[in-house]
Structure 1
Amino acid sequence: MALELPRDVRPQAVASIERWCREHLDEPVGNVTAGGMLAFFVEEIGPLIYNQAVTDVQERLQARLAELDIEVHEDPFQYWRRRDKPARR
């Protein structure tokens, strides 16, 4: 599955890369270079982050599923127990 950034956030990501390069490198980079760097990072490193996120979500969901029987458990045969309680006065 190829990772892609939504079109509306791509300009912000490119601007962020340009700013980082301007503040941390001896030479600033232009829009085209920053866009190329973004495409490289998304394709090369993006899958690592994506896969880790999927693993994290799976672990959280499995933990929640393990608690599901406790959370939604209902004891059977409660009708008569509720009926047989002494009436409050």
Structure 2
Amino acid sequence: MSLQLTPESQQQAIASIERYFREHMDEPIGNVAAGGLLKFFLQEIAPVAYNQGVADAQERLQQRVAEIDIEVHHAPFTYWPQPARSRRS
């Protein structure tokens, strides 16, 4: 599965890769090469981050579902108040 970016996000990602190479590598990278590198990352590495995000979301949702009983629980049979002591003597 290859993740897809919007055209705007893809342009920004390519520009970011080009800037990274200018500032941190000995040689700059061109637009076409940066686009190829981005495509590789999206196809090869991005699914790892995506799957981790899904797993994190599942864990969080499971925690919330487990807590829902605490948040919305209502005690049954509360119409009749509990007597402090028996009325019969």
**TM-score bin (small chain):** 0.7 to 0.9
Aligned: 1:57 with 2:57: yes
CA distance in 1 between partners of 2:39 and 2:50 (Å): 15
Residue 34 of structure 1 and its aligned partner are, at CA, apart by 0.5
Aligned residue for 1:4?
A: 4
Aligned residue for 1:31?
A: 31
Task: Look up the SS of the partner of 2:8 in the other structure.
Answer: coil
CA distance in 1 between partners of 2:51 and 2:43 (Å): 13
Which stretch shifts more, 2-11 or 15-24?
2-11
CA distance in 1 between partners of 2:54 and 2:63 (Å): 14
CA distance in 2 between partners of 1:78 and 1:8 (Å): 59
Task: Look up the SS of the partner of 2:39 in the other structure.
Answer: helix
When the two structures are superposed, what TM-score results if normalisation uses the length of structure 2? 0.84
User: Once the two structures are aligned, what percentage of the paired residues are identical?
Assistant: 62
Task: Look up the SS of the partner of 1:9 in the other structure.
Answer: helix
Unaligned 5+ residue runs, structure 1? 82-89
When the two structures are superposed, what TM-score results if normalisation uses the length of structure 1? 0.84
Q: Which has the higher contact order (CA 8 A, sep 6+)?
A: 2
Number of aligned pairs? 82
Q: Give the number of the structure whose alpha-carbon radius of gyration is greater.
A: 2
Aligned residue for 1:84?
A: none
Aligned residue for 1:66?
A: 66
Unaligned 5+ residue runs, structure 2? 82-89
Aligned residue for 1:40?
A: 40
